[in-house]
């Protein structure tokens, strides 16, 4: 039985059994060794524990890889039933969420670039910048000692990007959970630890406060069973005792191994762009004509639409549609629906202005001449004005199509599996950020060039 987001679950209606239920669980996208992708499959300590507990307790899980902050937003909006993402149990979070028994005792370490021999302790950080992961134990600890040692803390969303920041020199050190650092160093991320582990918080599985109590109890029971049987320790040892793994040996090996996932991401990028732009064209034509209408009400509606969606960030609407709308309406919104709504409404506002500008660019004498020949206003627009306007609009419409394709990369923030999202999944596991992003950039360039050539061919073909 699948849990429908926005509708009361069987548990909420009073059932105390989790057996046979399916729960939607949110997690991070890039937090190796707790959650990451290997050969396209979501794996890691958290994933193995969750699946083992679900099997032991007789329930099913649907895992949504969203990113840490997005997973918490999804939990608050009831898009997911629980979150497991290397989440530290804190007093502040206990006010909002109910936590399971701790399943991992963490700690914080500081690391620097492998060739950095100048930073060996906290005292060496005075006047410098360090990085830590947003919302993680490392950020909390770094900020707690920043004033004492005189350094600045910059927060980033992913471990892999933090490590790249240190290697690139924009920060001198990183504060991160020790198992994450250990795993990354073993994978060759180019860092080394220079401090002892500082005892940190405990990781727990979280649900909304007062909700899904049976799921929480089942997690605790399953965790106790895994510890008693020894399976819990086996899972930890498989990632922490010897965290090395076979990684692609060179750039071409990485390219070959990455291609299946990246091609899936490219297909999703092209598909969501095509669907969204088709809708945007329809919206743009409607609101574009409304903007030049003689009716003040229609002009006001069109102007309001354009101002709202052209004057607010695209990412804001992605979060509003995916997380906000379910809270306001109780409707289930898929990541595809949220992505299409976001891109089409944003692009539709720009297309409306392109349409308005194109029509108004046609010499008014053209309309007057056609009317003087006996054509009505509608026929004059259809036969004389619109064809000329469309020729002038085409370059701008092609440009907007390309912008929409690139804007689709922002949808990774809500877990949409487009091209850049797939790239993040790859470098989160192998820590080869620069090479992976280079491959992603080349694919984007080829796709956009091919799309531009196709659009220009269509322009020449139909606008002779």
Residue 91 located in a structural domain: yes
- 425 and 349, same domain (yes or no): yes
Helix (H) or strand (E) holding 237: helix 231-240
What total of structural domains would you count in the chain?
Answer: 3
Concatenated DSSP letters of 171-185? -SEEEEEHHHHHHHH
Percent of the chain with pLDDT over 90: 50
Residue 405: pLDDT band (50, 70, 90) is very high
Is 12 a member of any domain? no
Q: What is the CA radius of gyration of the chain?
A: 27
Q: Is the pLDDT of residue 2 over 60?
A: no
* 15 falls within a domain: no
- Region of 169 please: left (phi>0), alpha (psi -120 to 50) or beta: left
Asked if residue 425 belongs to a domain, the reply is yes
In this model, does residue 250 exceed pLDDT 80?
no
Q: Is residue 4 assigned to a domain?
A: no
Whole-model pTM: value is 0.72
Q: Could you tell me if residue 10 is inside a domain?
A: no
Whole-angstrom Cα distance, residue 420 to residue 456? Answer: 26
Residue 106's H or E segment, with its range, is strand 104-113
Q: What is the pLDDT of residue 348?
A: 95
| Domain of residue 418, CATH code | 1.10.3720.10
Distance (Å, rounded) from C-alpha 240 to C-alpha 232? 12
pLDDT of 384: 64
- For the cut 60, the answer to whether the pLDDT of residue 307 exceeds it is yes
Indicate whether 419 and 429 sit together in one domain.
yes
Structural domain contains residue 74: yes
Residues 273 and 383 in one domain: yes
Kindly report, residue by residue over 311-356, the tens digit of the pLDDT. 999 999 999 998 888 878 878 788 899 999 999 999 999 999 998 8
Is the pLDDT at 391 greater than 90? The verdict is no
Whole-angstrom Cα distance, residue 264 to residue 237? 32
Last residue of a domain, one of 240, 259, 290: 240
pLDDT value of position 11: 36
Q: Is pLDDT at 406 greater than 80 in this prediction?
A: yes
| Range from 140-144, 380-384, 455-459 carrying the lowest mean pLDDT | 380-384
CA distance 439 to 192: 27
198: β partners = 108
Which pLDDT score is estimated for 220?
Answer: 95
CATH value at residue 120? 3.40.190.10
Cis ω on the peptide bond leading into residue 110 (within 30° of 0)? no
Mean pLDDT of 280-289: 93
Q: How many DSSP H helices and E strands does the chain contain?
A: 18, 13
How far apart CA 235 and CA 55 sit, in angstroms, is: 15
* Longest pairwise C-alpha distance within the chain: 91
- Whether residue 166 is found in the same domain as residue 309: no
Instruction: Give the best-scoring range by mean pLDDT among 41-55, 184-198, 373-387.
Output: 41-55
Cβ atoms of residues 192 and 110 within 8 Å = no
Bridge-based pairing of strands 206-208 and 97-99 is antiparallel
314 and 396 together in one domain: yes
How far is C-alpha 356 from the geometric centre of its chain's CA atoms?
34
Average pLDDT in the 186-212 region?
88
The four Cα atoms 45, 163, 256, 240 give a dihedral, to 10 degrees, of: -30
Give me the pLDDT at residue 402, please: 93
What string of DSSP letters covers 343-402? HHHHHHHHHHHHHHHHHHHS-HHHHHHHHHTT--HHHHIIIIIHHHHHHHHHHHHHHHHH
* pLDDT reading at 464 higher than 80: no
Question: Both 150 and 35 in a single domain?
Answer: no
Domain boundary among 240, 260, 294: 240
Residues 71 and 110 in one domain: no
Least confident stretch, 18-32, 234-248, 405-419: 234-248
* Per-residue buried b or exposed e for 99-109, using 16+ beta carbons within 10 Å of the residue's own CB: bbeebbebbbb
Same domain, 264 and 223: no
In this structure, the answer to whether residues 275 and 336 fall within a common structural domain is yes
Overall average pLDDT of the 213-223 stretch: 95
CA nearest 370: which of 361, 359, 358, 383?
383
Dist. CA 42–CA 368, nearest whole Å:
64
Q: How far apart are CA 9 and CA 153, in angstroms?
A: 42
Phi-psi sector, 151: left (phi>0), alpha (psi -120 to 50), beta: beta
Q: Whole domain around residue 196: which residue ranges? A: 105-201
Query: What's the confidence (pLDDT) of residue 9?
Result: 40
pLDDT at 365: 66
- CA dihedral 268→270→276→278, nearest 10 degrees, is -140
Q: 124 with 217, same domain?
A: no
User: What's the mean pLDDT in 156-162?
Assistant: 82
Same domain for 169 and 57: no
Question: In the chain, what are the helix, strand and coil shares in percent, each to the nearest 5?
Answer: 60, 15, 25
Q: What is d(CA 237, CA 455) in angstroms, rounded to the nearest whole number?
A: 54
149 burial via Cβ count (<10 Å: 0-12, 13-18, 19+): middle
Q: How far apart are the first and last CA of the chain?
A: 58
Same domain, 401 and 354: yes
- Hey, which residues does 191 pair with through a beta bridge? 113
How far apart are the C-alpha atoms of 400 and 279, rounded to whole Å? 13
pLDDT higher than 70, residue 193: yes
Average pLDDT over the chain, rounded to whole? 86
Question: Which letter, b or e, does each residue of 302-334 get, where b requires 16 or more Cβ atoms within 10 Å of its Cβ?
Answer: beebbeebeeeebeebbbbbbbbbbeeeeeebe
Structural contact between residues 165 and 131, judged by C-beta atoms closer than 8 angstroms: yes
Give domain status of residue 261, yes or no: yes
């Amino acid at each position: 039985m699948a849990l429908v987001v926005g509708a009361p679950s069987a548990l909420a209606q009073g059932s105390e059994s989790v057996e046979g239920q399916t729960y939607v669980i949110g997690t991070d996208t890039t937090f190796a060794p707790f959650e990451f992708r290997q050969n396209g499959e979501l794996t890691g300590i958290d994933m193995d524990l969750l699946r083992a507990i679900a099997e032991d307790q007789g329930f099913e899980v649907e895992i949504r890889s969203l990113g840490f902050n997005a997973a918490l937003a999804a939990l608050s909006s009831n898009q997911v039933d629980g979150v497991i993402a290397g989440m530290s149990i804190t007093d502040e979070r206990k006010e909002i969420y109910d936590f399971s028994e701790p399943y991992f005792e963490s700690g914080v370490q500081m690391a620097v670039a492998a060739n950095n021999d100048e930073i060996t302790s906290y005292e060496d950080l005075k006047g410098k910048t360090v990085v830590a992961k947003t919302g993680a134990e490392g950020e909390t600890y770094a900020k707690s000692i920043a004033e004492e040692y005189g350094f600045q803390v910059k927060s980033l969303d992913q471990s892999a990007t933090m490590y790249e920041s240190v290697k690139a020199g924009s920060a001198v050190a990183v504060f991160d959970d020790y198992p994450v650092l250990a795993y990354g160093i073993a994978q060759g991320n180019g860092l080394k630890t220079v401090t002892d582990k500082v005892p940190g918080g405990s990781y727990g599985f979280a649900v909304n406060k007062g909700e899904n109590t049976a799921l929480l109890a089942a997690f605790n029971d399953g965790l106790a069973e895994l510890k008693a049987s020894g399976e819990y320790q086996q899972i930890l040892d498989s990632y922490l005792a010897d965290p090395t793994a076979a990684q692609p040996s060179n750039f071409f090996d990485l390219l070959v191994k990455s291609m299946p996932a990246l091609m899936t991401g490219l297909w999703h990028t092209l598909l969501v762009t095509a669907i969204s732009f088709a809708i945007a064209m329809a919206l743009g034509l409607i609101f574009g004509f409304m903007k030049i209408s003689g009716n003040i009400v229609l002009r006001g509606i069109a102007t309001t639409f354009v101002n709202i969606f052209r004057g607010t960030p695209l990412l804001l609407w992605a979060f509003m549609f995916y997380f906000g709308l379910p809270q306001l309406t109780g409707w289930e919104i898929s990541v595809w629906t949220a992505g299409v709504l976001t891109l089409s409404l944003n692009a539709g506002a720009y297309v409306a202005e392109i349409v308005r500008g194109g029509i108004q660019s046609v010499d008014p004498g053209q309309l007057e001449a056609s009317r003087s020949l006996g054509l009505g206003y509608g026929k004059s627009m259809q036969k004389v004005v619109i064809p000329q306007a469309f020729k002038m609009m085409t370059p701008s419409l092609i440009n907007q199509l390309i912008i929409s394709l690139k804007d689709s990369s922002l949808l990774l923030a809500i877990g949409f599996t487009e091209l850049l999202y797939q790239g993040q999944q790859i470098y989160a596991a192998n820590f080869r950020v620069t090479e992976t992003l280079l491959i992603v950039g080349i694919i984007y360039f080829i796709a956009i060039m091919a799309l531009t050539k196709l659009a220009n061919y269509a322009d020449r073909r139909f606008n002779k």
